[in-house]
């Protein structure tokens, strides 16, 4: 082969290798594909809005195009488009039979299953609005969701019967029917956590967080884009206004405050850290969990962390505790690190080593369960306490059945 041709082959191969390396580290091909998909979705959304297309219209087009296509597989059973359509039509006829009319609002409380889909579509067929209720809420939270939805009817799955039973006597008078279904450019800005003030530059604009820094996730609001439109909270303009930041990065822009704290790594991957304003009180001081988590995450070897306060017998407030995912940790060095990075009152008094961090259906840390556990030695987790018996060499020592009582009641905590 001629020398010149070899040179071209080697050059092309080297270029391909370099491109592959860059793509592997920066995920460029993934980002390009994602932006392309978003662009297509945006165009489709604008087209459908212009036609005043409803969910039910799209569904019926799908059924007509592929009636025998299996669309849902659930617990070993397959559901074709026409089977789901038959059930949705049954729901639509039922809705009309009980007096529901276009514009009526129905609160739907049901776990993830085919009936959720067919109920939602069936209601849409007759113009009824389904207010989808989070199945994880209970009692006061459930009542609040039903109240603000303005629903006149509640449909709930049999699996949610106990939740509904607890609030039956407190439902608003407008609820006329209860039916059980048993068959039948994103950026983060640094946040101070305590008073929710933002860091701004000399022009009064927000400053984007550096890599590895914790900040609040903001989403752009654009009235002309269906994918970036914020319609606000139902019948609560005051609450809607608190979620918006105007002139954030330049004059005239508008951003939605998610209330979620994230940090970004070198590959532009985002990690949920905490909620804004999540605090507890200890020894007369307010402790912001986000600040503690941000400080502790700088210690090597910790892959995930969740900070919260736990109640102790005979003590006011809550002691700081951190659930952490790690294989091994130098407890002497970690204690020294914590005391150097945090005010003394904010240093976690307890640590819980967990194999993995449990999250909710919306990928938030399950703090409620961790708080309920407190400092209990259960479930195979290892628990440690801040040991300052040697003032010159504080450390985190193991909490055991033998010392747990004396430690949790110790005044030196």
Please, which residues have CB within 8 angstroms of residue 257's CB and are 6 or more apart in sequence?
Answer: 216, 218, 242, 243, 244, 245, 276
Question: Which stretch of DSSP H or E encloses residue 351?
Answer: strand 350-353
Question: Which stretch of DSSP H or E encloses residue 295?
Answer: helix 289-296
CA distance 115 to 66: 20
The two structure tokens encoding residue 289: 């969990």
- In order along its 413 residues, the chain shows pLDDT tens digits of 555 555 555 555 555 565 565 556 656 677 788 888 888 888 887 887 887 888 888 889 999 999 999 999 998 899 999 999 999 999 999 888 888 899 999 999 999 889 999 999 999 999 999 999 988 777 777 888 898 889 988 998 888 888 888 888 788 888 877 777 654 332 333 333 433 445 666 677 787 887 877 788 899 998 877 777 888 888 788 878 888 888 888 888 999 988 888 888 888 888 777 667 678 888 878 888 888 998 898 899 999 999 999 988 888 788 999 999 999 999 999 999 999 888 888 999 999 999 998 887 667 788 888 988 889 887 789 999 999 999 889 999 999 989 988 888 876 66
CA distance 45 to 47: 5
CA 324 to centroid of chain Cα atoms: 19
Q: At what angle do helices 331-341 and 289-296 cross, to 10 degrees?
A: 130
Give the CA distances from residue 394 to residues 283, 334, 347, 349, 359, in Å, rounded to whole numbers and listed in that order.
19, 10, 12, 12, 32
For tokens 């998909």, name the residue: 37
Kindly report the number of other CB atoms within 10 A of residue 182's CB atom: 11
């Amino acid at each position: 082969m001629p020398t010149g041709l070899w040179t071209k082959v080697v050059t092309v191969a080297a270029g391909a290798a370099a491109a592959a390396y860059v793509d592997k580290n920066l995920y460029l091909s993934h980002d390009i594909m994602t932006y392309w998909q978003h662009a297509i979705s945006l165009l489709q959304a604008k087209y459908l809005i212009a036609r005043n297309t409803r969910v039910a219209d799209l569904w019926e087009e799908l059924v007509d195009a592929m009636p025998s296509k299996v669309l849902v597989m659930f617990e070993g059973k397959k559901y074709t488009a026409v089977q789901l359509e038959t059930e949705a039509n049954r729901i639509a006829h039922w809705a009309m039979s009980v007096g529901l009319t276009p514009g009526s609002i129905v609160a739907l409380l049901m776990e993830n299953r085919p009936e959720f889909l067919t109920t939602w579509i069936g209601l849409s067929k007759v113009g009824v609005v389904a207010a989808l209720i989070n199945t994880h809420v209970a009692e006061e939270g459930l009542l609040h969701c039903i109240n603000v939805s303005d629903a006149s009817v509640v449909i709930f799955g049999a699996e949610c019967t106990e939740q509904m039973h607890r609030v039956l006597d407190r439902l608003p008078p407008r609820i006329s029917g209860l039916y059980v279904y048993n068959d039948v450019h994103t950026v983060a800005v640094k946040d101070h956590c305590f008073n929710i003030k933002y860091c701004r530059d000399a022009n009064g604009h927000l400053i984007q967080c550096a890599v590895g820094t914790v900040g609040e996730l903001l989403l752009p609001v654009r009235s002309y884009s269906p994918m970036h439109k914020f319609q606000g909270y139902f019948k609560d303009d005051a609450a809607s206004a608190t979620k918006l930041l105007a002139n954030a990065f330049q004059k005239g822009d508008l951003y939605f405050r998610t209330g979620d704290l994230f940090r970004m790594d070198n590959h532009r991957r985002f990690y949920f850290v905490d909620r804004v304003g999540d605090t507890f009180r200890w020894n007369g001081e307010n402790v912001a969990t986000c600040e503690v988590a941000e400080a502790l995450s700088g210690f090597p070897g910790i892959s995930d962390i969740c900070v919260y306060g736990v109640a102790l017998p005979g003590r006011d407030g809550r002691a700081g505790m951190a659930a952490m995912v790690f294989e091994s940790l130098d407890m002497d060095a970690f204690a020294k690190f914590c005391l150097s990075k945090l005010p003394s009152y904010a240093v976690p008094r307890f640590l819980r080593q967990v194999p993995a961090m449990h999250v909710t259906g919306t990928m938030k840390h399950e703090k409620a369960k961790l708080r309920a556990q407190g400092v209990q030695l259960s479930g195979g987790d290892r628990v440690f306490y801040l040991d300052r018996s040697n003032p010159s060499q504080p450390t985190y020592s193991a909490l055991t059945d033998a010392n747990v009582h004396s430690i949790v009641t110790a005044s030196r905590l």
